[in-house]
Amino acid sequence: MVSSELVVKNCHIATMSAGSAEPYGTIRNGLLAVSGGRISWIGSESAAPEGIAADAHEVLDLGGGWLTPGLIDAHTHLVFGGNRASEFEQRLGGATYEEIARAGGGILSSVSATRGASDSELASSGARRLGWLVDSGCTSVEIKSGYGLDLESELRMLRAAKTAGADQGVSVSTTLLAAHALPPEFRYDREGYLDLICKEMIPEAARAGLADGVDAFCEGIAFNSTECARVLETGADLGMGVRLHADQLSDSGGAALAARLGARSADHLEYASGPGARSMAASGTAAVLLPGAFYYLGETQKPPVSTFREHGVPIVVATDLNPGSSPLASPLLAMNMASVLFGLTPEETLIGMTRNAAPVLGYQDRGALEIGMRADLAAWSIESPVELTYWVGANPCVGVWVAGSRVR
């Protein structure tokens, strides 16, 4: 056997493997070895090959703690200028998200701040926020644009996202979300802005290799299903993965549209219909639940979790970290909210931030701890993986590795 770069022993392992009969895919008293940045051996310590730890370059004794796949936050907007704390006060005073947006606040206030921020300011503030997620066990994070809304600013956001990922040593999947809102200069020219997105922004982002995916906000205060379809089809034609903000504030048919377009995910989904959920199941489109926005906006309409379960729709949990509707920088708190507010089990929340999240970002080599998978690992000082969802405000993460290299 080739010498291991890293051996983690004296631990319990939540493999999150789909084929395991044990909850969380648990291996008790386990050992995991890493070679070439990938998992080369995993199993009970008593069954490990003789000398596997003695020959390793580094041996980590977790002292009976737990090892899980690195967490995957599949929906964030963490690159932006400024913040929207004042809107928080307005909402506490009774204003709704839609009222603030229609008065020129909301996304457009972040657009102004983002356009005014320098490249270095966007990258450094983005890296700081990304670091909060990494500190809590994240090894792969999706970052959307959508607060620039012109060609230059959208591309600057995507570059800043990539710079932030390099700074923190983790994988960043970038998504072009130019169809997030109508910018003020196109207030009376929707078609002109859609032309800009489809004829300039998406092709340039693809040519420059800055965007892995394309997204759109399908809602009454943003873009309708026909407009979103045009944007997503343009991205798909250029090889981008397709995502959709769908059915957050109303049933706009977003879930069905995402399914029809073969989207990797439909996100939010508080108002998704039964037929929409069935369409998602048939197309393999995942449901990305964002309890932070639900909580922060004081919403009452919950996504149809039981319908997703009934039809076998993969359920993903993400922070939706953004300046306006979900300033949530803790994947663990997102998991807790998904259980308390939406009724997911603790195991479902961890699956939703590991195994089910990876394909949404196009990753096939992570999300579970299995031989041959990339060694993206998170170590925890806990007695059971249930605690990752149970605790509120605590962070029991004691180590994070990306491809076998320690980043925390």
For the chain, the domains span 6-70+368-406, 71-360
CB within 8 Å of 107: residues ≥ 6 apart: 101, 146, 147, 180, 181, 324
What would the pLDDT profile of 254-292 be if each residue is shown by its tens digit? 999 999 999 999 999 999 999 999 999 999 999 999 999
Calculate mean pLDDT across residues 127-148: 98
The CATH number of 71-360, from 3.40.50.720, 3.20.20.140, 3.30.460.10, 3.40.50.2020, is 3.20.20.140
pLDDT at position 251 over 70: yes
Q: What is the pLDDT of residue 2?
A: 65
Q: At the topology level of CATH, where does 6-70+368-406 sit?
A: Urease, subunit C; domain 1 (2.30.40)
Q: What is the pLDDT of residue 87?
A: 84
How many Cβ atoms sit within 10 Å of the Cβ of residue 223?
25
- Nearest-angstrom CA–CA distance, 328 and 330: 6
What would the pLDDT profile of 165-218 be if each residue is shown by its tens digit? 999 999 999 999 999 999 999 999 999 999 999 999 999 999 999 999 999 999
Instruction: Give the pLDDT band of residue 95 (cuts 50, 70, 90).
Output: confident
- Nearest-angstrom CA–CA distance, 377 and 86: 38
Q: What is the pLDDT of residue 367?
A: 98
Residue 375: name the closest of 34, 31, 30, 5 by CA.
Answer: 34
Q: What is the pTM of this model?
A: 0.96
- Nearest-angstrom CA–CA distance, 133 and 138: 6
CB within 8 Å of 333: residues ≥ 6 apart: 292, 392, 393
Q: What is the pLDDT of residue 307?
A: 98
Q: What is the pLDDT of residue 86?
A: 84
Encoded tokens for 356: 């089910």
